[in-house]
Chain A
Amino acid sequence: MSEVVLNTVIKSRGPWATAMRRLWRDRAAMAALTCFLIILCMCLLAPVYAGWSHAEPFKSTLDATIQINGQTVNVMEQSTEGLGLGYNPIGPTWQLGNYFLGADNQGRDVMSRLLYGGLNSFLIAGAATVLTLFFATLIGLAAGFFGGVVDAVLSRVLDILWAFPVYLLAISLSIVLIAHGIEIGPITIESGSLWLPIFIIGIVYIPYVARPVRGQVMSLRQSEFVMAAIGLGASNSRILLRDILPNVATTLIVFIPLMMALNMLTESALSFLSIGVQAPDASWGTIIQDGQGLLYSRPMVALAPGLAIVLSVLALNVLGDGLRDALDPRSKIKLGRG
């Protein structure tokens, strides 16, 4: 039998295939990925759910009625506390498609808002991550590779952004931009557009990624294979794209889930402070804010989106840990500040 083994050529796996196999065997990371995908798919089905349940997720429907156990019930019921003045939205019915999680103070179906809100939360976190990684890579590559004046200028700018507490910077930008929108040359972003939070969150976290990328590029710049490429007369763009970028790629990939987790938390915080996603759009942060006034009477309005955030962010963090272990066990990317 041993001859057979000798005759077969053992093809070694590439680094990417090895990493994928490692990730595939990491049960915690796979469970997290599954959990994340399930939440994402549920949110993607938001229009389907809203159409099926006939409850209005965005317009205020104070006079709506629903059927519970054959009885017709108002969505906004007369308050029984105190003098009996004012109205309370109904609590969770726990019947899918029938105000499952109850209504908010506009009589809107919380469950369907939760799904739509999740869609926005994911969209903003994802797009902001793309934006951050793109610009951070550009800055990191330029500063790390060219050094000198380029590095000095870029690094000082990063220093300033770094010393600016993230939430304060994001809040300052939001306050100014949310009211007026922004016009840079041909690009116009209307106030209330989802692009504003994407743009703001994307900018704020650039130093977090650009700094490690810059450091890595600087050490790669001194490595033998880059020296060899320079010696062979390769152009700067070739060296950057063919030699350096592939070596930074693992770092960037590990950053994706971690940045998404951070962005989701930031987006929800901005929306909670009512300077993120603007009404009538929803995100998990705005729903928590809707629920703040109802906290003691209808806590589910604030609890449900919070739990959704915790689950999604937790899944992303676990996935990020798994990715880091799989791709680059020795790396020391740490996130979570801010």
Chain B
Amino acid sequence: MLLAITRRLGQMLFVLVGISILVFLIFFATPGADPSARIAGRNASPEILEAVRKSFGFDQPFYMQYLIMMKKIFVTGDLTSFVNRGWKVVPAVFEAIPVTLSLVIGAAVLWVVFGIIIGTVAAATRGSWLDKFLMVLGLVGISMPVYWLGEVMNLVTQSRYHDTWMFSWVPPLGYKNISTDPRGWFLTLIIPWFTLAILYIGLYGRVLRANLIEALQEDYVRTARAKGLSETRILLRHALRTSLTSFVTLFGLDFGALVGGAALLTEVVFDLHGVGMLTYNALLTLDLPVIMATVLYASFFVVLSNALVDVVYIFLDPRVRTA
């Protein structure tokens, strides 16, 4: 057990180091991408370029630049932006985290609840028109580009139907702090929550339905039927429970990726200044320290949620425990 945990931790560390090197290579070792040229501006003279190179430390070998950056992120925490000198990166990431967490947690609640309802109802009525309708609806959700859906939502709630009773409550775009304005926080986030959740509701509903139908073929379900249990009880207590294991796996991965910044498009469309938005703005100015910090933060969440999923899996599925 201890050995397994140590191995898992070692694996986590390996992936994290790998990602940090990969990001570093993408921005420094890509042919043609000279960060000092970007910082110095378009028509900088060679002297200025040289000065920039020295002052930012680009004249040092790659591995030294990499090590210094890692030290500044993890040990001293005083990494500063290349674009706005003096702007500290690590606190900026921590400021953005509550926004992303608010967005992703709310959406996750929606997609888990609706995903389970849709998947279970479709499995219970499999073959019927209701099942088909729900599954087509799910596919439509999966097929929609999230940023486009966000724009359509904005069009409807901010412009076309904003003056009617339906959407007059929708506040202008932007984020409200939960501690100072909880009502505003809730109202501004309702539309983004649904927008982000729709893809996952479709995805999870379809996955759960497939798993439930598979579970209903199992021997223990036949045993339960033979004991005379009601169909509802079999579905909810026996089949649903085993089906939730893959649901949990998916959830861990998706949640980790979203908290890590995969909600970027939703944040951009709804003007929420979360981690994704921070990454996006940094990418536009090629602000390497900020990108490095946010991507490392993102992969940390992805790797962590992967590990957590493995642990939760053991609790949910007794078969894994003994194997």
Contacts and interface: CB of A to CB of B under 8 A. Distances in A.
Dominant SS among interface residues on chain B = helix
Contacts of B283: 171-172, 175, 275
A273 interface: yes
A172 B19 contact: no
A173 interface: yes
Nearest to A183: B31
Given A160-B15, A165-B260, A273-B280, A182 B148 contact: no
Interface residues of A, number: 50
Interface stretch (B92-100, B113-121, B291-299, B311-319): B291-299
A163 B147 contact: no
Nearest to A291: B151
A150 interface: no
B203 interface: yes
Given A314-B140, A337-B253, A163 B19 contact: yes
A51 to B, nearest CB: 29
Interface in A160-186: 160, 163-168, 171-173, 175-177, 179-184
Interface stretch (A13-21, A79-87, A292-300): A292-300
Interface residues of B, number: 53
A256 B113 CA distance: 32
Nearest to B250: A337
A288 B150 CA distance: 12
Interface string A279-318: 0000001001001100110010011001001100110011
Given A171-B283, A172-B23, 20 more contacts: A159-B11, A159-B14, A159-B18, A163-B15, A163-B303, A165-B302, A167-B265, A168-B261, A173-B26, A175-B284, A180-B31, A182-B31, A184-B31, A269-B147, A272-B145, A288-B151, A310-B140, A314-B139, A317-B139, A336-B203
4 nearest A-B pairs in the assembled complex, by CB-CB distance: A180-B32, A306-B148, A160-B18, A313-B143
19 contacts: A160-B15, A164-B22, A165-B262, A168-B298, A171-B279, A176-B30, A181-B32, A183-B32, A272-B148, A295-B159, A296-B158, A302-B151, A303-B152, A306-B145, A310-B144, A318-B139, A337-B250, A337-B257, A338-B262
